[in-house]
A and B are shown apart, each in its own frame.
Chain A
């Protein structure tokens, strides 16, 4: 088989212009933990690699006011080690720690976890829960897309030819909120989730009322926010029956598949179990 073409663009503009001109014939290389595996498994219908690792515009973690901006090339291990991410986005750290192995986490990037668009992606699921916004740059300028609107299907995103995800932006979650992330698999490490669940529960000050965000993965063609389940909890009291009802709605909302790792019916069942469990843990108090 013939060799590939290769570019190492020195800046973002150059990278976008190469990607815009060559489109489907090339692939951007970030962490490479998925791209290289696909390349070896083959057959591939592309002919070149655009190595974007050198783009400083896509690096770094910055805080401004109540907003954090994380460069798309930030390695999963750097997320885990960042003190401010650990304090303000503990659930993101937990999801990051559950991804792959230490060796993979030293290579894989947060942008890659999003753009690879696996329905089971752990980090992407938590970004959905934190209502992250994605900064995208392309030949016709820049735009900002909520994670919720980023996915089209398995391995498919709204990215157009020549567009690159440059950074992820998130507001600090509500002050008294508590998040929980569960990854359900057969092993403790190096696992792809059979089901993953992320919830964020915010008690309303001075009351027993709550607001909830519920996101589930690996049970539909994209990671999902379960609006029906969230709405059922809006301003409701934190009770076990309210959590059970929300979990049942989450279970009804998903549409998993059978595959080598699990069955559709088991996954659906576990969405109910894990959502209830996550809500109870996030509440943390008496029920």
Chain B
């Protein structure tokens, strides 16, 4: 086991991890930050998307030991306990959530997209979320929700 220190949502977490354990598994199993979901565990589905130094990445493709020194943002750092982030509000308002499993990943991806490009075209939104699979909504409502936030 290797002792490491991780910066997550602005807080420091100390944890002992095996080298081969991914950031995703450490978030969920060691730190109880279970908002980040585990889907395919191979970089395909985007359910595990977190932001690393502001950019969306698959936390299943990163070793926890390799995340040392990076600023990690997870869904737990978005919005507040009693208030939703505008992206979350829009997803709810547009009915862009059904089973909800992909939603934390989509929120993180949309956050990074809008942070770097506050007024994307629909095409840019569609391209931006190509790494987040959703098997319920058919994406139309997700795209509408993100476009809605960008117009605010």
Chain A interfacial positions (CB closer than 8 Å to B): 3-6, 29, 32-33, 36-37, 39-41, 49, 51, 53, 77, 100-104, 106-107, 188-190
Contacts and interface: CB of A to CB of B under 8 A. Distances in A.
Contacts of B86: none
Contacts of B2: 6
Interface of B is mostly: mixed
Contacts of B127: 102, 189
A106 B43 CA distance: 12
Interface residues of B, number: 28
B121 interface: no
A190 B19 contact: no
A107 B62 CA distance: 9
Given A49-B19, A101-B46, A103-B49, A32 B130 contact: no
Contacts of A188: 130
Contacts of B56: 102-103, 106
A107 B61 contact: yes
Interface string B29-54: 00000000000011110100100100
Contacts of A29: 63, 66
A32 B109 contact: no
A3 B19 contact: yes
A218 to B, nearest CB: 19
Contact of B22 (A36, A41, A49, A51): A36
Contacts of A40: 41-42
A104 B61 contact: yes
Interface in B88-129: 109, 127-128
Contacts of A33: 43, 58, 61
A102 B19 contact: no
B18 interface: yes
A101 B130 contact: yes
Nearest to B108: A103
A36 B131 contact: no
B66 A106 contact: no
B58 A4 contact: no
B43 to A, nearest CB: 6
21 contacts: A5-B19, A32-B62, A32-B63, A33-B61, A36-B61, A36-B62, A37-B42, A39-B20, A41-B42, A51-B65, A51-B66, A77-B55, A101-B130, A101-B131, A102-B56, A103-B58, A104-B43, A104-B58, A107-B62, A189-B127, A189-B131
B101 to A, nearest CB: 16
B6 interface: no
Given A4-B20, A36-B22, A189-B127, A103 B43 contact: yes
Nearest to A53: B66
Contacts of A4: 19-20
A189 B130 contact: yes
A33 B22 CA distance: 12
B1 to A, nearest CB: 8
Contacts of A107: 57-58, 61-62
Contacts of B26: none
Given A33-B61, A101-B131, A103-B131, 4 more contacts: A5-B19, A102-B56, A103-B58, A107-B57
